[in-house]
Structure 1
Amino acid sequence: MPSAPEWTYNHATNLRDHWWWRPGWQVGTRFYTWHITFNGQDKLHQLVDTYQAELARHPGLDLIPHQWLHLTMQGVGHTADITTDEINILLAAAQTRLAALDPVTVAFHRPVIRPEAIVLPALPPAEIDRIRDAVRAAIADTLGPGSVPDEAHGFQPHVTLAYSSSSQSADVIKSAIESIASEPVEVSIPTVSLIELHRDNRMYEWHTIAEVPIGSEASSTHPDR
């Protein structure tokens, strides 16, 4: 079995503020993206609660409520740049490609400190890569091969427990989370969500456009527009 990538266990030594504005982003920006969301995933929520109970004791961390837990997967583009017709074509292309996948299950266990967040890596990452490759192909089908944002390689699938809102050493937080006993949880991923995302309130919040099923039993999208 291949060893886990270094990013899944090698803690950052310092934290910095996550909430700086990326190029092209400001209050009011809306962005289409593919996320995996976790409504109803009680075992994952319990694991999150275990670590967030400790993280809540440390200043400078913004904890993520259950409703906004997500695995960031693949951006599509700013809403002003993509038409409703293109979104509908994208959903149809994604439905076809995701239906061809085998079922996907990943495990979450120990957090790792990244420079701007404390996260739970999804293991093995290759399982999420299969989903991401499918939605990237669907974007290429719809908008053209040169219109797929981000690089195909170097993806680090994770669920964020807390974002850093200040600059500080990670030493105390590292000791705290490493002192907690927990068991790994397995999570089946039945759908992928196309969402309209914003971060106006120092939190990633969204409206779900559609949920697209994964696997051979997938027969339709579930739009919520």
Structure 2
Amino acid sequence: MSSLPTRMVNRWERRRPLMLPPGQGLLYWHVLLGDDPDAVAIVLDAHARLAGLPGLDLVPHRFIHLTVLIAGYSHEITGDQVYEMAVEAKRQLAEIEPVIVTLGRVLYHPEAVVLEARPGDRLLPLLRAAKTATRLVTGSEGYLAHDVWIPHVTIAYSSADGPAAPVISALGTRLPEREVTIRSLSIVRQDGPETVWAWRPLAEVRLTNR
């Protein structure tokens, strides 16, 4: 993920060949943050700074999330398997307490603007649990959304080609920091094209204090 790209590109146009039609979906392991007041506050702060800039699709605050892993196509994973994955992930995370990460550092990708969740290694147990649960139940570890896993919360997606400088100038490289406590890991079904936000949480694995 480039820290300071010179150009933004239309994410949706580039990904159009990969988008699924309505009725088909992907299963994700997400950390859902739409109800976390600190996560919502920093994302809304970023949105206020980006207000009026063309070519950006701001992430609706109710869908604020951190992607951990893509488990696979929803039509290839049954409801019983979703339940079994959640049970196995709960077993894997039985000794893991809620995780505190800091949001504030802004990272830029030609297709998106994100907040890095730091330190990222605190979230590795969630990634390992998601991979293990997916592999043991489905036979596949799933796959990452990017080649390198950098835990992050997306602020906005680029919906047009154009210079990155206005976006970088408006937002900078750091916002006032917010600490966010991650208390659960969820399995979410996303139906159809990404742009329609047709999400349905299927299972939640809570992290508990010992």
TM-score norm. by structure 2 comes to 0.89
- Structure 2 unaligned spans of 5+: none
Do structure 1's residue 30 and structure 2's residue 8 form an aligned pair?
A: no
Do structure 1's residue 65 and structure 2's residue 64 form an aligned pair?
A: no
Aligned partner of residue 154 in structure 1, secondary structure: coil
Could you tell me how far 1:40 is from its partner in structure 2?
2.5
Could you tell me how far 1:203 is from its partner in structure 2?
4.2
8 Å contact kept, 2:33–2:64: yes
Matched AA of 1:186: E
- Structure 1 unaligned spans of 5+: 1-6, 218-225
Could you tell me how far 1:153 is from its partner in structure 2?
7.2
Match of 2:182 among 185, 189, 200: 189
Match of 1:169 in 2: 163
Alignment of 1:1-225 (within 5 A): 7=1, 10-19=3-12, 20-23=15-18, 25-144=20-139, 147-150=140-143, 154-178=148-172, 182-200=175-193, 202-215=195-208
8 Å contact kept, 1:99–1:213: no
Query: Take 1:38 and 1:24, find their aligned partners in 2: how far apart are those partners?
Result: 24
- Which 10-residue stretch deviates more, 10-19 or 163-172? 10-19
Provide the aligned C-alpha RMSD in A: 2.2
8 Å contact kept, 1:98–1:131: yes
1:129/1:13 Cα in 2 relative to 1: closer, same or farther (>3 Å)? farther
Question: Percent identity among equivalent residues?
Answer: 29
Which structure dedicates a bigger proportion of its chain to strand? Answer: 2
1:125/1:153 Cα in 2 relative to 1: closer, same or farther (>3 Å)? farther
TM-score norm. by structure 1 comes to 0.84
Could you tell me how far 1:201 is from its partner in structure 2?
6.4
Query: Take 2:209 and 2:189, find their aligned partners in 1: how far apart are those partners?
Result: 26
Query: Take 1:199 and 1:116, find their aligned partners in 2: how far apart are those partners?
Result: 19
